[in-house]
Amino acid sequence: MKLTSFKRAFTRLAAGAATFGTGLRHSKKLDGRQRRDRERLAARAMQAYLLYVLTPLWTIPGFGDYLCHRRSKIESTSGTQESITHSLMMASVAVPALQALLFETNALTLVVGAGALIFHELVVIWDIAYAAPRRHVSVTEQHFHSFLEVLPFATLSFLLCLRADQALAILGLRDEKPDFALRFKAEPPPRAYVTGLLALITLSIGIPYAEELLRCMRVNPSPLPRPKQQ
């Protein structure tokens, strides 16, 4: 009896799958103009996402990380050396971000961004290896670190996709030569946006991390390693 019920259920399932399959249709093939319009729209959407989502979003975990350092009393635990690594990491993100914001995105932008990302990750390894034995790194701070690591990678990935021609030129996979000229953008972002973004970065990243470094140096200005916690 059970076997018969199973066969009936299987038969119904197979019939339903066959009916669903016959109802599927291939997408309509786009002509050249429609394809170009779609690609242009996708490029604009990626640019808008970079400008208005990824770039300002970076300041939230950056400021949150600063608060975690302050709560764990970085000035009396890991001290000046760790604060220096924080300043180096923020600078390694800010420099290529400002370059991409104000100057034309070309081979120079991609190379500087890739180099900054590698430098950033090396400093992250240094920072964690030094800080972990000397102060408490909370779960919340670790989550902030995850965002701070992935956002620069995501930003560079977007730029590589937007200027795939220059990325391929750098690798020698296109006939054109890579463009390493430093030129201001022909169509820069709105002035109000640039001013607001720079103010946001200064208030949420620049001033807090400068305060952290000064606070650590007041306690002990030496960048030499502090003793590990017992």
CA distances (Å), 176 to each of 107, 156, 173, 183, in order?
12, 22, 9, 18
What's the confidence (pLDDT) of residue 223? 94
**Is 229 within 8 Å of 134 (Cβ atoms)?**
yes
Whether 80 and 223 have beta carbons less than 8 Å apart is answered as yes
pLDDT of residue 16: 60
| Contact indicator for 212, 86 with CB cutoff of 8 Å | yes
Round to whole Å and give the CA distance between 33 and 15. 41
User: What is the predicted pLDDT for the residue at 39?
Assistant: 80
CA distance 218 to 197: 30
Map out the domains of the chain as residue ranges.
36-219
d(CA 52, CA 33): 28
pLDDT, residue 107, reads: 96
pLDDT at 35: 79
What is residue 82's predicted lDDT score, i.e. its pLDDT? 97
Q: How far apart are CA 48 and CA 42, in angstroms?
A: 10
Q: Do 116 and 93 touch, CB atoms closer than 8 A? A: yes
Mean pLDDT by runs of 10 across the 230 residues of the chain is 60 62 64 79 89 93 97 96 96 92 95 96 95 94 94 93 94 93 93 95 96 97 90
